[in-house]
A and B are shown apart, each in its own frame.
Chain A
Amino acid sequence: SQTIHQWPATLVQPVGSPLSLECTVEGTSNPNLYWYRQAAGRGLQLLFYSVGIGQISSEVPQNLSASRPQDRQFILSSKKLLLSDSGFYLCAWGGGVELFFGEGSRLTVL
């Protein structure tokens, strides 16, 4: 069966520091991969999605970036974090109309 791993689960970072969140999927090949952000009181916001290695589409302009160095690995990065980057970040993989989420990474920027 397919599983999705996301880490770290919790992260506290100062403003201006870099960020790296990682996500890996097991049990499937060539998955569509997604990064979402969930802010309090708001619906999930799609940040990036990828349909293959090296193929990244950005939905929202921001100081975040994503990379897909391997088929089942998706990385969310930032060179300099802003206070507004705080939130709950979710990685997901999907096929058809199915969407499977990871456990999330809680980022607090101070």
Chain B
Amino acid sequence: KNQVEQSPQSLIILEGKNCTLQCNYTVSPFSNLRWYKQDTGRGPVSLTIMTFSENTKSNGRYTATLDADTKQSSLHITASQLSDSASYICVVGPYNFGNEKLTFGTGTRLTIIP
């Protein structure tokens, strides 16, 4: 069964600090891995999309890494801001086109405190 596991489930850090969120997956076949940010009560917004041949991708203060051999990904947030408080969802796609067979993680709830 395809699975995406994220850790930790929740995280609280001080504003200005860095943090790293983890994602392990057992999805086959594997084509791409995505990170989404979801504010409370809102729809998810894409942060990064990586294919199996990419090791890292950045979007401002967000940097995602991918190790397709160990089936692990991480999302690193630098110099956190209060607006980073949200759930971060890891999503794995088996094909290089289409969104019908995605496997979603349950997310990491990140809280930034001043």
Task: Decide whether A and B assemble into one complex.
Answer: yes
Which residues of the other chain, B, contact A92 by a CB distance below 8 angstroms?
43, 99
| Nearest CB of chain B from residue A73's CB, rounded to whole Å | 18
A49, A59, A99, A104 pick with most chain B CB within 10 angstroms: A99
| Nearest CB of chain A from residue B11's CB, rounded to whole Å | 16
What bracket does the count of chain A residues touching chain B fall in? 20 to 34
What bracket does the count of chain B residues touching chain A fall in? 20 to 34
- Using known A-B contacts A43-B4, A43-B105, A43-B106, determine if residue A99 contacts B100 with beta carbons closer than 8 Å: no
Which residues of the other chain, B, contact A59 by a CB distance below 8 angstroms?
100
Cβ of A107 under 8 Å from chain B: no
Label chain B's interface by main secondary structure: loop
| Nearest CB of chain A from residue B89's CB, rounded to whole Å | 7
In the complex, the chain B residue whose C-beta lies closest to that of A94 is: B99
- Give Cα distance in the complex from A34 to B98, angstroms: 11
Is A97 within 8 A of B103, CB to CB?
no
Which of B44-52, B64-72, B78-86 forms contacts with chain A?
B44-52
Is A42 within 8 A of B106, CB to CB?
yes
Is A98 within 8 A of B49, CB to CB?
yes
Q: Which 7 A-B pairs rank lowest in CB-CB distance, beginning with the nearest?
A: A101-B43, A43-B104, A94-B99, A44-B104, A99-B99, A104-B43, A43-B106
Given contacts A44-B102, A99-B102, A101-B45, 4 further A-B contacts (CB under 8 A): A42-B106, A43-B103, A43-B106, A44-B89
Which residues of B are at the interface with A, using a C-beta cutoff of 8 A? Answer: 4, 31-32, 34, 41-46, 49, 89, 93, 96-100, 102-107
